[in-house]
Homo-oligomer: A and B are copies of this chain.
Amino acid sequence: MTSHLDALENDRLRGFLRNAQADGPIMVVDSEVVRENYAKFARALPDTRVFYAVKANPAPEILQLLADLGSCFDCASVVEIDMALATGVSPDRISFGNTIKKERDVAAAFARGVRLFAVDCREEVEKIERAAPGSRVFCRILADGAGAEWPLSRKFGCVPEMAADVLEHAHVRGLTAYGVSFHVGSQQNNVGAWDAALASAAGIFAECERRGVYLSMVNLGGGFPTRYLKDIPAIDAYGAAIFEALKAHFGNRIPETIIEPGRGMVGNAGVIEAEVVLISKKSDAEDEIRWVYLDIGKFGGLAETMDEAIRYPIRTAHDGDAVAPCVLAGPTCDSADVMYEKAPYALPVSLSIGDKVLIEACGAYTTTYAAVAFNGFAPLASHVI
């Protein structure tokens, strides 16, 4: 008998799911894949420190593994800082990378020993001055995000022209103006996307130097993709392109660098096993499209299907059978809980109610995005093996 699990190439995940007794959707992360991803980043960017973006998946087992491998941590909140510290790492391996921080949270991070903070305006610099005196700050600049699949807004960062002012402000206030950061957009498929931002960064280094402020670090951010339905460049290709861009813009004075992979570190390490709750049509018309309803949706962990941005690979026990398009939706009573409709999803026509399906490349931005109890449904269950 064919099982949907036969479609899964990873034996460890398959073995775990075969024995799992879950009434609802279940996510499993393979820590061995995370270990391989870390090694790939370390090889591709040998002189760059890795700050794992905790928000992508803060499972304690993942944080412990990465801590043991030597990773640092990019944290968005004091809770994430405490999660990172719980692995035993020293606070100098932690960056408070959110540009939007309450002053009392800056103070709480400072009290825990954190000395590295992101800013993108003078107002945030002044919070750091008061609550974390003497710390290092880096200024985030806007990058255009062309080539990225997950929408990038202007929410974080200032225009490059303002960055030198912000950093000089930090310097004058007794902080260490440490460097520049940017984000080229999540799920960035263009290895050349870092070039323009590095040109801006080099310009800010030069301008600061003219003002007597000496920067030393470029935070290259995240954006490294995971494989969904389309092939993606290897991490090595990103490393090579970034190194070329660093040489082009900084010459023989290449700065210290940091990366903040999240999706690229854990995305391909996780799968979700879900169940087909209903397959139906809205009318008896010959060409009416099927609606396939799963027991997971936009509010249960698949929030990145918002605007149909991230398109997950879905495997079934019927792969190889004839396929037809369907609208894919979640189980809640919310009209907006539809994953793929504008671009329908091709699934086997033989798919049946009650079948299990595997949603691949779900390791990042799923468990923590799940709604706490919408429609009474429990948040996504998660296991790390």
Q: Which residues of A come within 8 Å of B, CB atoms? A: 23, 53-55, 58, 75-80, 83, 97-104, 120-124, 127, 142, 150-159, 161-162, 165, 186, 275, 277-284, 291, 293, 295, 299, 303, 306, 327, 329, 331-338, 341, 353-354, 367-379
Interchain CB contact under 8 A, A282 and B375: no
Contacts of A124 in B (CB 8 A): 278, 280
Q: A306-B336, A353-B123 are in contact. Are A368 and B374 (CB under 8 A)?
A: yes
* A79, A103, A152, A278: most-surrounded residue (chain B CB, <10 A): A278
- Check if B299 sits within 8 Å of A369, measured CB to CB: yes
Q: A335-B156, A372-B371 in contact; A121/B280 too (CB < 8 A)?
A: yes
Give 18 CB contacts A-B under 8 Å.
Answer: A53-B333, A79-B377, A79-B378, A98-B332, A100-B331, A101-B278, A102-B277, A121-B278, A121-B281, A124-B280, A151-B336, A153-B336, A154-B282, A155-B329, A158-B280, A161-B284, A370-B372, A372-B379
What is the CA–CA distance of A331 and B369 in the complex, to the nearest angstrom? Answer: 14
Specify which chain B residues have a CB less than 8 angstroms from the CB of A337 in the assembled complex.
Answer: 155
The CB with the most chain B CB atoms within 10 A, among A162, A303, A335, is that of: A335
What distance in Å separates the Cβ of A126 from its nearest Cβ neighbour in chain B? Answer: 9
B368 near A75 with CB under 8 A, answer: no
**A159 to chain B: which residues have CB within 8 Å?**
282-283
A338–B155 contact, CB under 8 A?
yes
Question: B283–A376 contact, CB under 8 A?
Answer: no
A371-B369 in contact (CB<8A): yes
Across the interface, do B371 and A371 meet the contact criterion of CB distance under 8 Å? yes
Shortest distance between the CB of A54 and any CB in chain B (Å): 7
- Closest residue of B by beta carbon distance from A374: B368
Contact yes or no, B55 A376, CB < 8 A: yes
Q: Which of B151, B293, B335, B376 contacts A76 (CB 8 A)?
A: B376
Contacts of A101 in B (CB 8 A): 277-278
| A41–chain B nearest beta-carbon distance, Å | 19
Instruction: In the A-B complex, list the 9 residue pairs whose CB atoms are closest, starting with the nearest.
Output: A79-B376, A121-B280, A77-B376, A80-B376, A76-B375, A159-B283, A372-B379, A76-B333, A153-B335
Q: Which residues of B contact A335 (CB under 8 A)?
A: 150-153, 155-156, 186
Chain B contacts for A295, CB-based, 8 A: 102
Known contacts A77-B376, A101-B277, A158-B283; 12 additional CB pairs below 8 A are A23-B104, A76-B332, A100-B293, A103-B353, A123-B278, A142-B282, A153-B336, A155-B329, A156-B333, A368-B372, A368-B374, A371-B371
Collect the chain B residues with CB atoms within 8 Å of residue A278's CB: 99-101, 121, 123-124
In the complex, how many angstroms separate the beta carbon of A194 from the nearest chain B beta carbon?
18
Which residue of B has the minimal Cβ distance to A294? B100
- Indicate the member of A97, A151, A277, A378 with the most B CB atoms within 10 Å: A277
Chain B residues near A280 (CB, 8 Å)?
120-124, 158
Contact present for B158 and A123 (CB under 8 Å): no
Q: List B contacts of A279 (CB < 8 A).
A: 123
Judging by beta carbons under 8 Å apart, are B77 and A377 in contact? yes
Please measure, in the bound complex, the distance between the C-alpha atom of A371 and the C-alpha atom of B304, giving whole angstroms. 13
Residues of B within 8 A of A284 (CB): 161-162, 165
Are A375 and B371 in contact, CB atoms less than 8 angstroms apart?
no
Interface contact B373-A371, CB-CB below 8 Å: no
The distance from the CB of A118 to the nearest CB of chain B, in whole angstroms, is 9
